[in-house]
Amino acid sequence: MIKMHYKKIGAGLTMIGILTATVALAETGAITTNTNGKAPVNRTQMMQDRQAARQETQMQNICSRIASFSSNLNQKASDQENNLKTRQTERLTDWNNKMTTADANLTKERAAWEANRSQQFAKLEAAATTDAQKKAVSTFETTTKAAIATRQATVDAAIKTFRAGVQTAITARQGQVSTIVSTSATNRAAALAKAQADCTAGDDAATVRTDFQNGMASARTQMQNDRQNVTKVSAAVQALIQARHAAVEKAMSDFKAAMESARVSLKTVFSDQASEITAAPLDHTIKN
């Protein structure tokens, strides 16, 4: 009878211990008792599983967007490069067309002045009656033609130097711009490659996104800074214009001096017809 009581007491103590442990775990949130009599649920593990699932979903979404962005980035980089080349080609074509038009106008003006000189020379030859006068007219024509040839050669050289300088400045700038675009594309591709590698490695989604955004921002900032340092063509062109202007002015000055000396000699021979001997025709119009 006593043994039976001890067994009941022992069983009761065991049950009390189990209930006490269960209540303690339930109070800490480690498990949740189930009124349906099923096995207790581990809430901590459930939270960890849910968090892991959310992170996995975020990673998949971010990596999916990055993969899509990769395709768009490559297409955008290709379009940007093609558009740049097109604009550069169009600007060079426009420049060359303007120079071709300028050459045609200059040739036309020189032809007009040549025709005018021929008429003036014919008048001088008609006015020369003595051998001395005829010789003087011949000398004047030779001197005039030589002076014009020298002046035109100097002007043509100045134009050639100017255009070569402008071409060099344009080409240099286009090279700098192309390098900037290429470098920016490389930097963006590097940021994208890192993000893809991080996705493959299963890194934290938030970290992958932040690193990718920072990499792209850095590429944009560098491109903006590099563009500000590109050499401007206008400064180089202005210096070239001044040099061309100085060369043309000197050519005209030398030409006028040579022609004035020739006219003085011609008038000396035609002293009795000085009023009929006008200044020799000068084609002052010099363009481009």
The pLDDT mean for the chain works out to 78
Closest CA to 158 of 98, 96, 246, 95: 246
Distance CA 205, CA 198 (A): 9
Residue-level pLDDT at 258? 94
Q: What is the mean pLDDT of residues 238-262?
A: 94
pLDDT bucket at 246, cuts 50 / 70 / 90: very high
Instruction: Summarize the confidence of residues 30-59 as an average pLDDT.
Output: 57
Question: What distance in Å separates the CA atoms of residue 273 and residue 137, rounded to the nearest whole number?
Answer: 13
pLDDT tens for residues 38-51?
A: 556 566 665 655 65
The Cα 166–Cα 180 span in angstroms is 21
pLDDT over 80 (residue 27):
no
Q: Which residues contact 148 (CB under 8 A, 6 or more apart)?
A: 117, 255, 283
Q: State the Cα–Cα distance between residues 136 and 149, nearest whole angstrom.
A: 20
Return the number of other C-beta atoms located less than 10 Å from residue 112's C-beta: 12
Per-residue pLDDT band for 159 (boundaries 50, 70, 90) equals: very high
What is the C-alpha separation between 61 and 69, in angstroms, rounded? 12
pLDDT at 215 over 50: yes
Per mean pLDDT, which range of 70-79, 142-151, 196-205 is the poorest? Answer: 70-79
pLDDT of residue 97: 92
Angular region, 281: left φ>0, alpha ψ -120 to 50, beta rest: beta
pLDDT tens digits, 105-153: 999 999 999 999 999 999 889 988 999 999 999 999 999 999 999 999 9
Query: Among 83-92, 132-141, 220-229, 276-285, which stretch is predicted with the lowest mean pLDDT?
Result: 276-285
Tell me the torsion sign for CA atoms 214, 215, 220, 222.
positive
Cβ contacts of residue 42 below 8 Å, gap of 6+?
A: 30, 31
Q: What is the pLDDT of residue 100?
A: 93
Instruction: Say if residue 154's pLDDT is above 90.
Output: yes
What pLDDT, on a 0 to 100 scale, did the predictor assign at position 104?
Answer: 95
